[in-house]
Amino acid sequence: MKASVVIGLQCVFCDSALESDLNNEPLSGDIIECQNCHQLNDYDSLVDVAVNKEVDSLFEDGLGF
């Protein structure tokens, strides 16, 4: 059985959840503006940070690979 995980993206500057435009899904290389602090976030960096946090969390919970 395969499990799936939904990972939300958070601003690297203020840690606020980033809202997505339902009509335009972000792609590699996109820049996303935080609606809270208005800083620009690189989508690829956001994904890297979010995945690393989730992997660390899984290992802490004893569910690692």
CA 62 to chain centre: 22
pTM: 0.74
| pLDDT of residue 55 exceeding 80 | yes
Question: Cα(61)–Cα(63) distance, rounded to whole angstroms?
Answer: 6
Residues in the chain: 65
Distances in Å between the alpha carbon of 49 and those of 1, 2, 10, 22? 26, 23, 9, 22
Span 18-46, pLDDT tens digits: 987 767 888 999 999 999 999 999 999 99
